[in-house]
Amino acid sequence: MSDRLGWLRGIGKALIVTVVGVVFLFPLYWIVTMAFKPQEEWQPIDGVHWVPDDWTLENFKKIFGRATDTGFFEAAPTDATNAIVNSIVAATGGTILAMLVGTLTAYGIARYKAGGGFLPFQILQLRMFPPVAIVIPLLIMYAYLELVDTYWGLILIYGAVTFPFVVWLMRSFFQEVPREIAEAAIVDGCSQWGALFKAVLPQVRGGLAATALFVFILNWSDFLLALVLTSEQVETAPVFLNGLQSAGAGQEYGPQAALGLVLIIPPAILGLAIQRYLVRGLTFGAVKR
Amino acid sequence: MAEIRIQSLTKEFAGGVVAVKDLELEVPHGSFVALLGPSGCGKTTTMNMISGLERPTAGEIYFDGRPITRVAPGKRNVGFVFQNYAIFTHMTVYGNLAFGLKVRKDGRSKAERDAEVRRVAEIVGLSGSLERKAGVLSVNDMQKVALGRSMIVQPAIFLLDEPFSNLDAAFRAYMRTELKRIQHEMGQTMVYVTHDQVEAMSMADRIAVMNLGELQQYGSPDDVYNRPRNRFVAGFVGSTRMNFLPASLAPALAPEGRADKLTLGVRPEAIEIVAPGDARSTLDARVTLVEPLGAKDVVHLEVGGHDARVVGAPGRRPHVGDSVGLSFDPSRVHLFNDETDLAV
Amino acid sequence: MAEGPLSTPSEAAGRQAPRRSLLARWGRSEGAVAQTLITPGQLLLLFVILFPAIVAIYISFTGWTPQSGDPWYEAYRSWLWFDNYWEALSGNAFWAAVWRTIVVTVVAVTAEFLIGFGLALLLLKQFRGRGLLVVVFLLPMMVVPAVAGFIFYMLFQGDGPVNAALTWLLPGEVNIGWLTDPDIALFSVIIVDIWQWTPLMFLILLSGLVALPEDQMNAARILGAGWRHQFVHLVLPMMKPIILIALIIRAMETLKLFDAAWLMTQGGPGDATATMSVYLYRETFIGTRWGYSSAVAILVLIMVSMLAMRAIRPIEAAAEERVDDLVVAEERAEVSLEEAIEAEARAR
């Protein structure tokens, strides 16, 4: 076998990997630099500014309501603090709801085959429905129940929409726990509930954490539901971002980028932490790392 | 059929672990050689280098005089049977057997290949299972598939890495005889890795005993058993372990004046138990345990502070606590000098 | 029954107050507990699926709009029977949206799969810096989709970096109207989806490849199988369940595509990027004929259900392969006992 060929393949490999890396990273690079660019550099007439000439924190200040230069009359208010807080509250609440209901359901399916063996499929089916298909009746229901533009309204729908994921993932994790653990606990005198809480749950701690983080990321990233179901009180950050987009005649790239950056950093960190667990759960444990 | 010559073979892994050190070995044409040694002695690594799965750090390997150290495993024409068979579980038995043929474009027609597969299946005893999926076979059948799959390409050299260690005892014995028979019929050169010295002794023409990456002794089973080169080989080979006693206990058996720097080695079958004062007795001992094993008795003794074992025919079975004498056959006594040589 | 001072647990329990034992019995009955476990989930589903579905069906038969001033339950005043459905099914707009969705899904998922697989193969063997590269390759999927849409909105501007970079690379001025040219806009949406989700494919496939049994690969190598043979006969068949799952997951999610597309083009220019979800949204909140869009929504739900039924089977099959392995292990233990006896007899 010739080493020469191996050397060439190595170079080719490195080349492809570099190109892909650049393509993957460039958009991120762009939003990062845009967030630090002053207004003149957002859409400069003299062509693209690959690197900001002037680094500034002004955009971040704007989105947190501490703009120092008010400048001209701005096309839209850019204080996003409320929106960010709303995102945190809604995402957390939705996650808690989904985890509670979903974990119980997943256990019911995994251990007792509750729901007659069809339930898991029904739940998978759920994930395939585009949420936009139910927005009309949802809006009607919410208007009726006075849930529009409220925290609870969002939490409820977020929980419901991510609940299938929790069931899907947690069922996988529960299935990896041998029956004997619960049975041993029952022999020791626990009720079925005791077996669940004292014996089985501690075994899936890692899976619980990973699922919770995953669901949090999903809820945090939601756009459509919040768009439809909130207006001013509980507007979440992605909706706010969209608002900046359509409101201004000139595009407020800077603050938008700053907000976007703030939006994407938490999930990025969380996501990297849990990716190992995710693959196990998502592929039904067909792959064990 | 090929002769293997290994020269100065060394394999060092990252982190300074030397798995094989300076190995020199010659496997004659058509012979059955066992690589024997405890876990971690380097035998599997050596096999991997012969097959081409690993590249040596230094040294050369020759097949029939041709250096193949840098040749890809697929082009070396060797057969390899893994310890856990590594058969293709998602294919049928037929698919497994046919794989080697499919991969080589040697102009055979589909019908010829089919005939070959069936022939090999017949030899290993799988003719009835050809359509079954390999993943659902019993362990014994999987082993047959592994063998057949390697055989079908008629390799010049056959490498087997503890192939029978996962089988149940009865089947293992059966496979050992089968393998020997096949090897005699087809005359292939076989290198067989095992940690079971009974296996090595019963199957091999020559045994290479290894420890910690170094070759300890290479010779016929008789050589290795009766003329061990060093203490390790002496202690490793032999179903009931050889007895090692400081030579100072029986200075008469050692050459002049060196008794306190030597260790005496004598096999349990080479000692006879006699009455304590008997003229033939070289040493006194006390019986600590008697194991009646049916065809033989193993008597455990305490001699001058050391443990020893004697294997003898059932009959005059001593009792625990008896004082007895041990009679040694001087021609079957080995002497070891801190693990290097022996002087008989 | 055992006599003596120690009583059995059930006897002891029976001596407790009756109220306690009812609760305790419920806590110990598998059936009761199982039902309780899934009840909250079922309630949630009821709330989110069943009621809206009923309401939506009701309204889809009417010509109701929120602007009519009537409350929704009086929508029957503008009863239209199947007119809305007919309009959707016979008109162009609906089917065009369906078609666009299919195009996006097929192209995007295929590209994501091919690129993801290629990357996974490249990064399979350990080498220096591999860990870092894996992280880099995973980053795009961590980005909130709405923000990804915004980023590409910036990038795809006529005077933006993409055109600038292409101008630098290729001879002549490049001024592609990524978001403004109706023939290209859908493609831009596809690009964003590919950028964002190839990492997921990469992750799943890489995990699958890493878990492949190395011994089998070695065995194949020794038998003379070159790289291509190994791939076709070993890697692909063994990866089948994972590949299937990855494709189905991504396809499912891509069908629902909304966030990035909306932020970039709001379905425009014109209708060019109106995929199913975008189309539905526009009909609902820009046109206000809720009767009509309810009908479209119901049609979408029906189509998705049919797809789901076809997709469920391969997923469950993949999940069952694992169960199969367990069954096989048991089978094996039984058979080898038989064989041992057989072999013993033969060895005599």
The distance between the two most distant Cα atoms of chain C, rounded to a whole number of Å, is: 100
Read off the pLDDT of each residue in A84-113 and give the average, rounded to a whole number: 89
- Start-end of H helices in C61-91: 83-90
Residues C65 and C171 in one domain: no
Question: In chain A, what residues touch C122 (CB-CB under 8 Å)?
Answer: 13, 16-17
pLDDT number for residue A71 = 52
Restricting to C residues 320-339, those with a Cβ less than 8 Å away from any Cβ of B are 328, 331-332, 335-336, 338-339
Residues B226 and B295 in one domain: no
Residues C167 and C245 in one domain: yes
Interface test with B, best of A1, A2, A3, A4 (most B CBs within 10 A): A1
Q: Of B73, B103, B174, which is closest to C229 when you measure between CB atoms?
A: B103
Is the distance from CB of A242 to CB of C285 less than 8 angstroms?
A: no
Residues B17 and B147 in one domain: yes
Of A208, A226, A173, nearest in space to A95 by CA: A208
Strand order across the B243-246 sheet: B243-246, B262-266, B333-337
C155 to chain A, any CB pair closer than 8 A? The answer is yes
Residues C69 and C186 in one domain: no
Angstrom distance (rounded) from CA C320 to CA A113: 15
Of A55, A286, B110, B241, nearest in space to C246 by CA: A286
Pick from A285-289, B70-74, B199-203: least confident: A285-289
Whether A260 sits inside 8 A of C322 (CB atoms) is no
Restricting to C residues 3-42, those with a Cβ less than 8 Å away from any Cβ of A are 9, 24, 27-31, 33-35, 37-38, 40-41
The distance between the two most distant Cα atoms of chain A, rounded to a whole number of Å, is: 78
Q: Residue A58, by phi and psi: left (phi above 0), alpha (psi -120 to 50) or beta?
A: alpha
Angstrom distance (rounded) from CA C53 to CA C55: 5
pLDDT number for residue C113 = 95
Q: Of C223, C336, C347, which is closest to B100 when you measure between CB atoms?
A: C223
Domain boundary among B236, B262, B278: B236
Residues B219 and B248 in one domain: no
Residues C162 and C277 in one domain: yes
Best-predicted range by mean pLDDT (B88-92, B131-135, B185-189, C195-199): C195-199
Q: Give the pLDDT band of residue A288 (cuts 50, 70, 90).
A: very low
Residues B248 and B231 in one domain: no
| Higher-pLDDT residue of B67, A246 | B67
Whether C220 sits inside 8 A of B104 (CB atoms) is no
Angstrom distance (rounded) from CA A278 to CA A284: 10
DSSP letter, residue C16? S
Domain boundary among B236, B251, B268: B236
Of C272, C134, C138, nearest in space to C195 by CA: C138
Q: How far is C302 from chain A (nearest CA, A)?
A: 10
Chain A, nearest residue to B70 by Cα: A1
pLDDT number for residue B343 = 63
Asked whether residue B115 is assigned to any structural domain, the reply reads: yes
Give the 3-state secondary structure of chain A: CCHHHHHHHHHHHHHHHHHHHHHHHHHHHHHHHHHCCCHHHCCCCCCCCCCCCCCCCHHHHHHCCCCCCCCCCCCCCCCCHHHHHHHHHHHHHHHHHHHHHHHHHHHHHHHHCHHHHCHHHHHHHHHHCCHHHHHHHHHHHHHHHCCCCCHHHHHHHHHHHHHHHHHHHHHHHHHCCCHHHHHHHHHCCCCHHHHHHHHHHHHHHHHHHHHHHHHHHHHHHCCHHHHHHCCCCCCCHHHHHHHHHHHCCCCCHHHHHHHHHHHHHHHHHHHHHHHHHHHHHHCCCCCCC
Asked whether residue B66 carries a pLDDT value surpassing 70, the answer given is: yes
Domain boundary among C232, C263, C286: C286
Asked whether residue A249 carries a pLDDT value surpassing 60, the answer given is: no
Residues C61 and C145 in one domain: no
pLDDT in tens, A21-31: 999 999 999 99
Whether B74 sits inside 8 A of C222 (CB atoms) is yes
C177 to chain A, any CB pair closer than 8 A? The answer is no
Residue C296 corresponds to which amino acid?
V
Whether B90 sits inside 8 A of C331 (CB atoms) is no
pLDDT number for residue B86 = 87
Angstrom distance (rounded) from CA B169 to CA B180: 17
Whether A141 sits inside 8 A of C150 (CB atoms) is no
- Residues present in chain C in total: 348
Angstrom distance (rounded) from CA B81 to CA B163: 6
Q: How far is A176 from chain B (nearest CA, A)?
A: 22
Both tokens assigned to B202: 């019963």
Whether B86 sits inside 8 A of C332 (CB atoms) is no
Residues B172 and B268 in one domain: no
Q: Of A105, A136, A271, which is closest to C293 when you measure between CB atoms?
A: A136
C237 to chain B, any CB pair closer than 8 A? The answer is yes
- Mean pLDDT taken over chain B: 84
Asked whether residue B265 is assigned to any structural domain, the reply reads: yes
Domain boundary among B183, B214, B236: B236
Interface test with A, best of C16, C22, C38, C275 (most A CBs within 10 A): C38
Best-predicted range by mean pLDDT (A86-95, B60-69, C37-46, C207-216): A86-95
Residues B114 and B24 in one domain: yes
pLDDT in tens, C276-333: 889 888 888 887 788 888 888 888 888 888 887 777 776 666 655 544 444 444 444 4
Asked whether residue C36 carries a pLDDT value surpassing 50, the answer given is: yes
B with C: how many residue pairs have Cβ under 8 Å apart?
100
pLDDT number for residue C328 = 47
Q: Of C59, C115, C146, which is closest to A136 when you measure between CB atoms?
A: C59
Express as a percent the part of chain C with pLDDT over 90.
Answer: 14
Chain C, nearest residue to B151 by Cα: C223
pLDDT number for residue A184 = 85
Residues B124 and B15 in one domain: yes
Whether B82 sits inside 8 A of C219 (CB atoms) is yes
Whether C52 sits inside 8 A of A23 (CB atoms) is no
Cβ neighbours, 10 Å, residue A45: 6
The angle formed by the CA atoms of residues C210, C213 and C217, to the nearest 5 degrees, is 105
C160 to chain A, any CB pair closer than 8 A? The answer is yes
Whether C293 sits inside 8 A of A242 (CB atoms) is no
C344 to chain B, any CB pair closer than 8 A? The answer is yes
Residue range(s) defining the domain that contains residue B103? 4-236
Residue A8 corresponds to which amino acid?
L
A with B: how many residue pairs have Cβ under 8 Å apart?
3
Residues B192 and B284 in one domain: no
Side-chain-facing half-sphere of C198: CA atoms under 13 Å: 25
Residues B184 and B263 in one domain: no
Restricting to C residues 275-334, those with a Cβ less than 8 Å away from any Cβ of A are 276-277, 280-281, 284-285, 290, 293-294, 297-298, 300-301, 304-305, 307-309, 311-312, 315-316, 318-319, 321-322
CATH assignment at residue C220: 1.10.3720.10
Residue C261 corresponds to which amino acid?
A
Helix (H, G, I), strand (E, B) or coil at C101: helix
Distances (CA, A) of A219 to A4, A209, A213, C224, C254: 51, 15, 10, 51, 17
CATH assignment at residue B310: 2.40.50.140
Q: How far is B52 from chain A (nearest CA, A)?
A: 12
Residues C105 and C242 in one domain: yes
Helix (H, G, I), strand (E, B) or coil at C341: helix
Asked whether residue C183 is assigned to any structural domain, the reply reads: yes
Asked whether residue C279 is assigned to any structural domain, the reply reads: yes
Pick from B335-344, C8-17, C132-141, C190-199: least confident: C8-17
Whether C155 sits inside 8 A of A27 (CB atoms) is yes
Residues B274 and B301 in one domain: yes
Domain count, chain C: 2
pLDDT number for residue C207 = 84
Both tokens assigned to C232: 């076709």
Asked whether residue C15 carries a pLDDT value surpassing 70, the answer given is: no
Residues C62 and C211 in one domain: no
The angle formed by the CA atoms of residues A51, A52 and A56, to the nearest 5 degrees, is 150
Pick from A88-97, A265-274, C251-260: least confident: A265-274
Q: Of C225, C234, C238, which is closest to B74 when you measure between CB atoms?
A: C225
Question: In chain C, what residues touch B78 (CB-CB under 8 Å)?
Answer: 222
Residues C244 and C112 in one domain: yes
Residues B163 and B191 in one domain: yes
Question: In chain C, what residues touch B74 (CB-CB under 8 Å)?
Answer: 221-226
CA torsion angle A87 A93 A96 A98 (round to 10): -80
Give the 3-state secondary structure of chain B: CCCEEEEEEEEEECCCEEEEEEEEEEECCCCEEEEECCCCCCHHHHHHHHHCCCCCCEEEEEECCEECCCCCHHHCCEEEECCCCCCCCCCEHHHHHHHHHHHCCCCCCHHHHHHHHHHHHHHHCCHHHCCCEHHHCCHHHHHHHHHHHHHCCCCCEEEEECCCCCCCHHHHHHHHHHHHHHHHHHCCEEEEEECCHHHHHHHCCEEEEEECCEEEEEECHHHHHHCCCCHHHHHHCCCCCCEEEEHHHCHHHCCCCCHHHEEEEECHHHEEEECCCCCCCCEEEEEEEEEECCCCEEEEEEECCEEEEEEECCCCCCCCCCEEEEEECHHHEEEEECCCCCCC
Question: In chain C, what residues touch A288 (CB-CB under 8 Å)?
Answer: 211
Each residue of B276-300: b (16+ CB within 10 Å) or e?
A: eeeeebbbebebeeeeeeeeebebb
Q: How far is A73 from chain C (nearest CA, A)?
A: 23
The angle formed by the CA atoms of residues B296, B300 and B301, to the nearest 5 degrees, is 135
Residues B216 and B302 in one domain: no
CATH assignment at residue B200: 3.40.50.300
Chains that touch B (3 or more CB pairs under 8 A): A, C
Asked whether residue B167 is assigned to any structural domain, the reply reads: yes
Angstrom distance (rounded) from CA C93 to CA C271: 9
Q: What are phi and psi of B244, to 5 degrees?
A: -120, 125
pLDDT in tens, B197-234: 888 888 899 999 998 888 888 989 988 888 888 888 88
Question: In chain A, what residues touch B70 (CB-CB under 8 Å)?
Answer: 1
Interface test with A, best of C21, C37, C283 (most A CBs within 10 A): C37
Q: What are phi and psi of B292, to 5 degrees?
A: -80, 120
Residues C152 and C299 in one domain: no
Whether B80 sits inside 8 A of C222 (CB atoms) is yes
Is the distance from CB of C201 to CB of C112 less than 8 angstroms?
A: yes
Residues C204 and C255 in one domain: yes
Question: In chain A, what residues touch B53 (CB-CB under 8 Å)?
Answer: none
Angstrom distance (rounded) from CA A99 to CA A93: 10
Q: Of B82, B86, B100, which is closest to C224 when you measure between CB atoms?
A: B100
Q: Of C218, C229, C234, which is closest to B53 when you measure between CB atoms?
A: C218
What pTM did the predictor assign?
0.79
Asked whether residue C216 is assigned to any structural domain, the reply reads: yes
Asked whether residue C337 carries a pLDDT value surpassing 60, the answer given is: no
Each residue of C210-235: b (16+ CB within 10 Å) or e?
A: ebeeeebbbbbbbbbbeeebbeebbb
| Higher-pLDDT residue of C347, B198 | B198
Q: How far is C20 from chain B (nearest CA, A)?
A: 51
C147 to chain A, any CB pair closer than 8 A? The answer is yes
Q: Which residues pair with B66 in a beta bridge?
A: B63
The angle formed by the CA atoms of residues B161, B167 and B172, to the nearest 5 degrees, is 85
Asked whether residue B30 carries a pLDDT value surpassing 80, the answer given is: yes
Asked whether residue B65 is assigned to any structural domain, the reply reads: yes
Asked whether residue C30 is assigned to any structural domain, the reply reads: no
Asked whether residue A280 carries a pLDDT value surpassing 70, the answer given is: no
Q: Of B86, B88, B103, which is closest to C224 when you measure between CB atoms?
A: B103
What is the separation of C-alpha C119 from the centre of its chain, rounded to a whole number of angstroms? 21
Whether C136 sits inside 8 A of A256 (CB atoms) is no
Residues C126 and C103 in one domain: yes
Residues C274 and C157 in one domain: yes
Asked whether residue B342 is assigned to any structural domain, the reply reads: no
Each residue of A157-169: b (16+ CB within 10 Å) or e?
A: bbbbbbbbbbbbb
Angstrom distance (rounded) from CA B50 to CA B4: 9
Cβ neighbours, 10 Å, residue C153: 22
Asked whether residue C273 carries a pLDDT value surpassing 80, the answer given is: yes
Asked whether residue B332 is assigned to any structural domain, the reply reads: yes
Its ipTM equals 0.83
Q: What are phi and psi of A250, to 5 degrees?
A: -90, 145
The angle formed by the CA atoms of residues C186, C192 and C198, to the nearest 5 degrees, is 125
Asked whether residue B232 is assigned to any structural domain, the reply reads: yes
Chains that touch C (3 or more CB pairs under 8 A): A, B
pLDDT number for residue A117 = 59
Asked whether residue B344 is assigned to any structural domain, the reply reads: no
Asked whether residue C203 is assigned to any structural domain, the reply reads: yes
Residue range(s) defining the domain that contains residue C107? 99-286
Distances (CA, A) of A220 to A131, A188, A244, A268: 16, 42, 18, 11
Chain A, nearest residue to C250 by Cα: A128
Domain boundary among C286, C309, C334: C286
Domain count, chain B: 2
Asked whether residue C147 is assigned to any structural domain, the reply reads: yes
Helix (H, G, I), strand (E, B) or coil at C169: helix
Asked whether residue B119 carries a pLDDT value surpassing 60, the answer given is: yes
Is the distance from CB of B301 to CB of B243 less than 8 angstroms?
A: no
Asked whether residue C323 is assigned to any structural domain, the reply reads: no
Helix (H, G, I), strand (E, B) or coil at C233: helix
Helix (H, G, I), strand (E, B) or coil at C185: helix
Of B54, B53, B73, B67, nearest in space to B12 by CA: B54
